[in-house]
Amino acid sequence: MTSTSNNEQPVIYWFRQDLRLHDLRGLNKAVATGRPVLACYILDDQSPGQWQMGGASRWWLHHSLAALSADIEKAGGQLYLARGKSEVVLARLTEQSGATLVCCSRQYEPWARQLEKELHESLEERNVELKRYGGSLLWEPETVSTLAGTPFKVFTPFWNKCRDLPLLLEPDTRIRLSRWPASVDAPDTLNDLSLRPTNPDWAKSWGDLWQPGERHASAKLSAFLRGPVSDYDAGRNYPARGATSRLSAHLHFGEIAPARVFHTAREAALGDPELQAETDKFLSELGWREFSHHLLFHFPQMPEEPFKADFAAFPWLGGARELRAWQKGLTGYPIVDAGMRELWQTGYMHNRVRMVVASFLCKHLLVNWRAGQRWFWDTLVDADLANNACGWQWVAGSGADASPYFRIFNPTAQGEKFDKGGDYVRRWVPELAALPDRYLHQPWAAPEKVLQEAGMELPADYPLPIVDHREARESALAAYADIRTQQGITA
């Protein structure tokens, strides 16, 4: 162990899903000790029960770590990268550096909470203290409860309660970081973590679409508040309109603090009642993110089991053929296929379309929501366990404050309503681009002459619907009626 005096003993700041230098309570506390602060990131994919990070998330993480490393170097430090078990890596780093304090932000996934508990115990045995701080949520899950002291299960009262709670933004602190001493083993390189896809590099064009990192997160928030937020309430439903913030991946990886988003948006709308109303709607979506983490914290089985127990008996009749057609964007329903192709090509899907494609998988194809959840987990750059699990269960009808099961989106009607001009479908399903608007969302209904004028043939150029909407709806409702009968539910 390196020999150091107490005032020279360094503090290790362990970055997790908080890849930024500003508005970060744990980092501020580490700096406030007056000791040298050493920064590290550990790619730990060995925790029991952990959902291994999906390919799209790994791509984002690579570039986020590159941005963070550059920012740390500007602050005088060095980001130590390692791959392995957090317990083993931190034990080695504290031993070799002489650090007796490790600071970090909390995480709320079930395996992360168990890891924090085990780390606290193992480091304590080495006379090293682990201090955890909030950093990725507006409020800590334990601080929000009903009058009876129980977790909330419905969003509106949850959000009403939250808005009455104090919200503090971390003071702007000058961050000074230190370089690791020579006594510490050489870190891994970013390429050693093998985060980017190869052979083939299916994300090779994503650098033109996304710019991970704290600086870009802040710039994206500013751009959103200068324009799109003014049309947020209505505009967010139209996938071709560009009225959403697209901050979700930045928030998931902690490149911007949710409190910073909250405060900045509120301040930008002051004195303008109409803008305040639009901003409040945007902030309520931030509230849904909080609500999802609240549910995951109190009900950690959410990603694996239906929140409503009666759905455990639901007869998921869809199989591999239906799932594969959905994944490839070959269902024969243009708005569904456009969404799935946008997801595969960009790592992202518009939120309205996420609801449509999820409803289609669960309620038209009768494929278990867990299969959709897994696909989103692997293909979304903003894949987040809490948001993903709660979102899928909400659509499937099995979650907390869920959409009623009998609410089954008509994919044709959704396309005609929210992509009336067809800009979204024509971009992502180009084989349909020449069809007139009247038939764009139901190409199977186009007369042969119209198809010929558009230079296409069905099903050679585009598949016929994998299921009939009306028949699929009736099958789904019948399946739901069966489980209600089995459970003895009459209301």
CATH number at 249 reads 1.25.40.80
CB–CB of 261/224 below 8 Å? no
**Per annotation, catalytic residue among 111, 202, 316, 444:** 316
pLDDT 10s per residue in the chain (491 long)?
343 444 579 999 999 999 999 999 999 999 999 999 999 999 998 777 789 999 999 999 999 999 999 999 999 999 999 999 999 999 999 999 999 999 999 999 999 999 999 999 999 999 999 999 998 999 999 999 999 999 999 999 999 999 999 988 888 889 999 999 999 999 999 999 999 998 889 999 999 999 999 999 999 999 999 999 999 999 999 999 999 999 999 999 999 999 999 999 999 999 999 999 999 999 999 999 999 999 999 999 999 999 998 899 899 999 999 999 999 999 999 999 999 999 999 999 999 999 999 999 999 999 999 999 999 999 999 999 999 999 999 999 999 987 777 789 999 999 999 999 999 999 999 999 999 999 999 999 999 999 999 999 999 999 999 999 999 999 999 988 888 776 655 44
CA distance 154 to 295: 10
411 and 470: one domain?
yes
450 and 390: one domain?
yes
Is 159 known to be catalytic? no
- Percent helix, strand and coil across the chain, each to the nearest 5: 50, 5, 45
Q: For 445, how many CA atoms within 13 A lie in the half-sphere containing its CB?
A: 11
Structural domain that includes position 160: 137-169+214-298
294 and 389: one domain?
no
332 and 355: one domain?
yes
Q: Would you say residue 273 lies in a domain?
A: yes
Q: What is the DSSP secondary structure assignment for residue 246, as one 8-state letter?
A: -
CA distance 158 to 378: 30
Residue environment code for 239-264, b if the CB has 16+ CB neighbours within 10 A, otherwise e: bbbebbbbbbbbbbbbbbbbbbbbeb
Q: Would you say residue 197 lies in a domain?
A: no
CB–CB of 221/256 below 8 Å? yes
413 and 477: one domain?
yes
346 and 461: one domain?
yes
Name the domain boundary from 298, 323, 348.
298
Is 368 known to be catalytic? no
Q: Would you say residue 181 lies in a domain?
A: no
CA distance 467 to 22: 50
**Per annotation, catalytic residue among 59, 210, 326, 369:** 369
Is 474 known to be catalytic? no
388 and 456: one domain?
yes
Radius of gyration over alpha carbons of the chain, in Å? 24
117 and 11: one domain?
yes
| Phi, psi for 30 (deg, rounded to 5) | -65, -45
Note the Cα 487 to chain centre separation in Å. 34
CB–CB of 293/280 below 8 Å? no
147 and 272: one domain?
yes
Domain count, the chain: 3
Closest CA to 22 of 211, 167, 213, 163: 213
CATH code of the domain containing 20:
3.40.50.620
* SS3 of 386-453: HHHHHHHHHHHCCCCCCCCCCCCCCHHHHHHHHCCCCHHHHHHCHHHCCCCHHHHCCHHHCCHHHHHH
Instruction: Give 491's contacts (C-beta < 8 A, 6+ positions apart).
Output: none
Is 316 known to be catalytic? yes
Name the domain boundary from 247, 275, 298.
298
pLDDT given for residue 3 in this prediction: 39
**Per annotation, catalytic residue among 351, 416, 431, 444:** 351
Give residue 156's identity as a one-letter amino acid code: T
Cis amide bond preceding 306, omega within 30? no
Is 369 known to be catalytic? yes
**Per annotation, catalytic residue among 116, 118, 140, 285:** 285
Q: Would you say residue 187 lies in a domain?
A: no
Q: Would you say residue 178 lies in a domain?
A: no
CATH code of the domain containing 470:
1.10.579.10
Name the domain boundary from 113, 135, 157.
135
Q: Would you say residue 156 lies in a domain?
A: yes
**Per annotation, catalytic residue among 14, 51, 210, 392:** 392
CB–CB of 367/323 below 8 Å? yes
Reported as a single tens digit per residue, the pLDDT across 447-479 is 999 999 999 999 999 999 999 999 999 999 998
Q: Would you say residue 176 lies in a domain?
A: no
Is 59 known to be catalytic? no
Reported as a single tens digit per residue, the pLDDT across 52-99 is 999 999 999 999 999 999 999 999 999 999 999 999 999 999 999 999
330 and 345: one domain?
yes
**Per annotation, catalytic residue among 288, 305, 416, 444:** 288
276 and 329: one domain?
no
Residue 74, class by beta-carbon neighbours within 10 Å (0-12 exposed, 13-18 middle, 19+ buried)?
exposed
478 and 456: one domain?
yes
Q: Would you say residue 195 lies in a domain?
A: no
